[in-house]
Structure 1
């Protein structure tokens, strides 16, 4: 088995997710903090610093913010280049303030980590590396070159050499660690968000097909009687007008078109799902429906209803839910994709549980990712055999994530292992996916699903 992904998620970008207003607000907060620090340093601690130059640097940041506010709409999405330039400006503005206030002797040098962390959350990797590199270079220069901060007595405020060196090293480690950490966490959050979006789309599509099938079934049912009446009346009239070839030909055409309408509705009505009898189906029926799209793909799909069960009475009838159908269909698809010749779907049940096991005789799950199967966007290096079997396969894990999420939504627990070939009596590895529901979560709860159903509900279009 393997893991697939929809094409629309292969090119995921994050650069245009941040609005200009967000960075402008963050910059205003930084400006207020800088002004407050300047006032406290001069008026409360009586420190001797370059107030004029510092005011010019802060003023430049204020002008940049006003320029951004008035010349561009606040809800404008930033491009990679624009966001990078804004963060570089903030980083260099902070560097200028640190240059004028003691360099790394100033504890606010820690704020150099902020632009790097922000860049790691939404910018492409190359831009994040650029900002991190500028931050490292700037901190290294500030450790050697800066204007001193003096007290009124003329004493320079500076850290001992060893502490200054340790602070510089800790800042460099912080830039690297926070950048990598923030990027990794954010990437996983975005991957999970993309995968959940794909899951919702798959479920919505399955639900839409189900609802459409219900409408078609209702139409087939309601139109069946008038079409039968048209055919009956036209047949009787045809017998009476045999001596009039023109009328007989028209009546024969009417009858043939009624037959055609009946055949079309019968064909369309096969997808009908709104009948309450189709809402609750035997377990084997659900499996057959999930496997049907893959029956003609050159692999044998064997469905076994196990008789080795602790509760061997009649087969359970379960709810026919879109998430169950779509989830099982994804699992069967993955099994067929990587099976050598056969896939087995085995069912079993007892008084408390309902279980399905899907086995194939393929190469099995890669040992490097078997512990992470079901996570979205799990990558592994493809072998030549994998590439030949599925040329478009990228190993993203989204297919199994969707299946796992949908089935867990229905109350199931999934487990993944190897050894499917042995279960099929063949040599080799093979993959096994076991799906297990508490019976209460899928059982209709009315005489094992064999009781009266009541009237069908009105279909609303």
Structure 2
């Protein structure tokens, strides 16, 4: 697609966005909870704990946080390796505390899911797999080896072995499921964010090109008069300086350079001055403008403009919005890319609606993605990859997402399908996309309240 050079940001790049201050704050919350639990357990419940080792584990976290707070600036961004090291330390520190306080007999063993979830949402897949593996090993170790929880009377607090086994299985499943679930949701959010950013870039680029064309056209128009004056004056000087060849040569040079400036500005300003007329155009003109970059490729593009409303034989004049032109251009490019020989572009309008239909004679959209067209960064299924079916669709999705987003922003409704149209002499049409707007949304001069053209206004340059 037009935006095929845009790629989603990798997890390693995103990991570098996490601030050290955020990780320090989360660790202070964990330290506070651990300190309260270790302090209250002996006082309220009379549990006999290895308080020295427990406070040592908590103290190491406190020292690490203090060093990070005073040594590094508050706005420091952690690298992938630094993030992994911090989360891994928290996991091992928590595992050590659980070893001192009953292992899986301690209900706080559920907190082992915390560092793994953070890794799945913030770090790369490789780091997440490493965290999951270490967490599974730690949980399995705690299931068989730990210091027992004892009361002041020497009673050992333990749950039945079958519950320990169930607790172990639940934690293993929780580690795997929570990691996969968190990573999947986070990836969807990141993909959508990347695609929306790409959409904004495409729209901004189209708007800048439109604005630039207007400024250049206005400059060409406004500079025409002074350049004509320069040429006229230099021509008169050339006649008066016939007896002074050196000065006459300079006057001739001025005249020639004025002609050159005139030609350059004329070429740059062929699109005309940026007046209100250029902001409105007939429907067929806007569609042709969108399709123009793809008319001279190796596929035939056919236009068909008709109306089902006999009272309105002429196409409506619509607003030349950059999102409409760019969105249609992406859809037309998709049709040309995947067509065998022909692409049909049909426009239709009624008293209430305006629609554009784009069809090609290719193989159509793969059935497994037909319901998900418009989602960013789609991938093929492994079954189709094995068959080698529609290799062109590998990685497709961003261009159609941009087109869909831009057109919906203009008020359009899109429908994707695979179809067959008898009007094309019995030829099957592969992919079909229909874009329709309420006529009142994009009509520029129509009905009882037309948009006035007004007067041309000079653009400040």
Q: TM-score, normalised by structure 2?
A: 0.90
Q: Which runs of 5+ in 1 are unaligned?
A: none
1:123-138 equivalences under 5 Å are: 123-138=123-138
Match of 1:419 in 2: 419
User: Corresponding residue for 2:107?
Assistant: 107
Q: Is the Cα–Cα contact under 8 Å of residues 343 and 359 in structure 1 kept in the other structure?
A: yes
Instruction: Return the alpha-carbon distance in structure 2 between the equivalents of residues 251 and 386 of structure 1.
Output: 66
Name the structure 2 match of 1:26: 26
Q: Which position in structure 2 is the counterpart of 1:355?
A: 355
Q: Kindly indicate whether structure 1 or structure 2 has the higher relative contact order, using CA contacts under 8 Å at least 6 residues apart.
A: 1
Per the alignment, in what secondary structure is the counterpart of residue 415 of structure 2? strand
Once the two structures are superposed, residues 171-196 of structure 1 have per-residue CA deviations (whole angstroms, 9 ceiling, x without a partner) of 11110010000000111111111111
Q: How does 1:445-456 map to 2 (within 5 A)?
A: 447=447, 452-456=452-456
Count of residues in Structure 1 that have an aligned counterpart in Structure 2? 455
How many Å apart are 1:47 and its aligned residue? 1.3
C-alpha contact 1:120 1:182 (8 A) present in aligned 2: yes
Checking the alignment, whether the CA contact within 8 Å between 2:420 and 2:427 is kept in structure 1 is: no
| Pairing of 1:106-255 with structure 2 (within 5 A) | 106-230=106-230
Task: Provide the secondary structure at the position in 2 that maps to 1:150.
Answer: strand
Deviations 1:311-352 (A, max 9, x none): 534321111111111111111111111112221111111121
For 1:10 and 1:113, locate their aligned partners in 2 and report how far apart those are by CA, in whole Å.
26
Q: Which moved more, 1:76-85 or 1:347-356?
A: 76-85
| Offset of residue 39 of structure 1 | 1.8
Deviation at 1:301, TM superposition (A): 1.7
Secondary structure of 2:49's partner?
Answer: coil
The answer (yes or no) to whether the contact 1:421–1:430 under 8 Å persists in 2 is: no
Deviations 1:413-450 (A, max 9, x none): 11111126766446455111110111121123555897
Decide whether the 8 Å contact of 1:3 with 1:395 is kept in 2.
no
Q: How far is the alpha carbon of 1:244 from its aligned partner?
A: 7.1
Determine if contact 1:373/1:400 at 8 Å carries over to the other structure.
yes
Match for residue 6 of structure 1?
Answer: 5
Q: CA deviation at 1:4?
A: 6.0
- The SS at the match of 2:16 is helix
Query: Counterpart in 1 of 2:91?
Result: 91
Mapped contact 1:318–1:449 kept (Cα < 8 A): no
The two structures, once aligned, show a CA RMSD in angstroms of 2.8
Moved more, 161-170 or 31-40: 161-170
Whether 1:37 and 2:54 are equivalent positions in the alignment is: no
Instruction: Look up the SS of the partner of 2:357 in the other structure.
Output: strand
Q: Which runs of 5 or more residues in structure 2 are unaligned?
A: none
* Superposition map of 1:396-411 within 5 A: 396-411=396-411
- Shift of residue 69 of structure 1? 2.0
Return closer, same or farther for 1:245/1:300 CA change in 2, 3 Å cut-off.
farther
- Per-residue CA deviation, residues 270-312 of structure 1 (Å, 9 max, x unaligned), is 3457210001111111111111111211222222211334653
> CA 1:310/1:116 → structure 2, altered by over 3 Å: closer, same or farther?
farther
Matches within 5 A, 1:334-373: 334-373=334-373
Report if the CA contact (8 A) 2:366-2:390 is conserved: no
Question: Secondary structure of 2:88's match?
Answer: helix
